[in-house]
A = this chain, B = another copy of it.
Amino acid sequence: MNLLHPHTGLYTDLYELTMAQGHFFAGRHETRAVFDYFFRKNPFEGGFVVFAGLADLLEALQDFRYSAEDIDYLAAQGFKPEFLDWLRHFRFRGDVWAAREGEVVFPYAPIVRVEGTIVETQLVETLLLNLLNFESLIATKAARMRLVAGDRIIAEFGLRRAQGYGGMQATRAAIVGGANNTSNVLAGLHYGLPVTGTMAHAWIQSYEDELTAFRKFAEQYPERCILLVDTYDTLRSGIPNAITVARELEQRGYRLFGIRLDSGDLAWLSKRARQMLDEAGLTYVKILASNQIDEYVIRSLREQQAPIDGYGVGTRLVTGHSSPALDGVYKLS
């Protein structure tokens, strides 16, 4: 399953094809070439990059070809018949030498080397840079969060703020870098990743009151039930109602899995929530937190001893936020 299929060969800058045709008519398209992929600057003012994106790249390279529709399109763009006849049968047959995904890598060291004909090594440049730059960026961001989160859960919830269909690669890279699971169902199917989720404010608002909304959810989802407690008033309504439902679940032989805080002062609210839950004998109920979380927020929460068991991380993970691109390049060696 490759989202670009059957147009993978067109996922490129036009000049790669222009140069390919140039080499073809100069009779040097079989000339051997070697390109190296490396980057120059660590993102996030950090000290390392976690390499990612290789599996997606290799899958796309195996599918890197031109469909009849692609050839027609290129003909309409002015590419010449003799070149297009050759391109119609083009396959990437080069060799790829690479670091392993998840490895820590540093500026200026070659991470991937591609050997082959000058045309095949050049044509794949844009695809290679697109996937490796982005997935390495996000894996690095996730690793930075993992370093400060210790063994707490990190759930990737960012699809709604991800950069278009790049949300697919963002999810994959987040897991490579250290997130535990994701809300992105298609990424779950595509990459075989664990998916997770809670409930939205809209569920609560679709009922006449919060307690009814919680009860209706817990009735159907008694296992791994997580209640979102900030729709109306976290301390005066959300948590008391969650405690009521937790006790009702106990009577049915279940344990409420957790509550989720999604706004406000997460350090203060999590401490009060822990206290209220513990006083109700619900020491097993986990506290999850979300809302503009990144490695700096996690570190601050941990320094404040906020009793948070898991973080739902969105925008700041899946976009890279402060550094939205890795500056990796692909240079003729």
Interface residues of A (CB under 8 A from B): 3-4, 7, 10-19, 21-23, 25-26, 28, 31, 33, 35, 69-70, 73-74, 77, 118, 122, 125-126, 129-131, 133-135, 157, 159-170, 183-186, 188-190, 195-203, 205-206, 216-217, 220-221, 315, 319-321, 324-327, 331-332
Contacts and interface: CB of A to CB of B under 8 A. Distances in A.
The SS class assigned to the A binding surface is helix
A31 B201 CA distance: 17
Contacts of A125: 160, 200, 202
Could you say which of A73, A163, A216 has the most chain B C-beta atoms within 10 Å of its C-beta?
Answer: A163
B189 A122 contact: no
Copies in the complex: 2
A14 B70 CA distance: 35
A189 B73 contact: yes
Nearest to A165: B165
Given A70-B189, A332-B202, A164 B122 contact: no
Contact of A25 (B188, B220, B315): B220
Nearest to A74: B185
B13 A184 contact: yes
Contacts of A331: 201-202
Nearest to A19: B203
A35 B221 CA distance: 25
A20 to B, nearest CB: 10
